[in-house]
Structure 1
């Protein structure tokens, strides 16, 4: 992530360790996706064996990790910082 917003100059990391809380958001997002995939496998795959769950869900978690990293930081920034955005900028 950028240190400063290229548009408005907002400093993203207010203090060292500011985004530690984003780990909780990341955990929730990953858990939600794994849960949805597990339910889909259960209902659409007629409850396959345990290794099938692991073989499907684990690679998906690895593939979404970079996206999840950014999304969790953005959600944390919006939730904690309370930044007010002006429409049209």
Structure 2
């Protein structure tokens, strides 16, 4: 889906226009990925909660600045992954794009849906 690997920090968000194998468009309609913000929000809340609970139990309830710093660092470090996973989930859940592991087989060899 993406042109560059995740560790290319300046270009991790650039997407291909379509799948190079099957030609599936990665943007079903203009503005489609605006909805991925809500998926990303869910991931961010989970990161905040896990960081906070982890600090509380592992570090013995440190000062507030430690919570803020830890959550900020965790959020910045996981941002490229959260961005990519939220877009991929948005495309899969709401774009009705399904992975077909038998795409290379002729149609007559693929199982029929009942």
Give the TM interval when normalised to the shorter protein: over 0.9
Give the drift of 1:55.
1.1
The reply to whether residue 6 of structure 1 matches residue 38 of structure 2 is no
Aligned-partner Cα distance in 1 for 2:100–2:92: 14
RMSD value, Cα? 1.1
* 1:77 corresponds to: 91
Aligned-partner Cα distance in 2 for 1:48–1:17: 42
Query: Which ranges in structure 2 are unaligned for 5 or more consecutive residues?
Result: 1-14, 104-114
The reply to whether residue 86 of structure 1 matches residue 100 of structure 2 is yes
Number of residue-to-residue matches in the alignment: 89
Aligned-partner Cα distance in 1 for 2:57–2:44: 20
TM-score, normalised with respect to structure 1: 0.92
Query: Which ranges in structure 1 are unaligned for 5 or more consecutive residues?
Result: none
Q: Which runs of 4+ in 1 moved over 6 A?
A: none
Which structure has the greater CA radius of gyration? 2
More RCO (CA 8 Å, sep 6+): 1
Give the drift of 1:87.
1.7
Q: Which has the higher helix share?
A: 1
* 1:22 corresponds to: 36
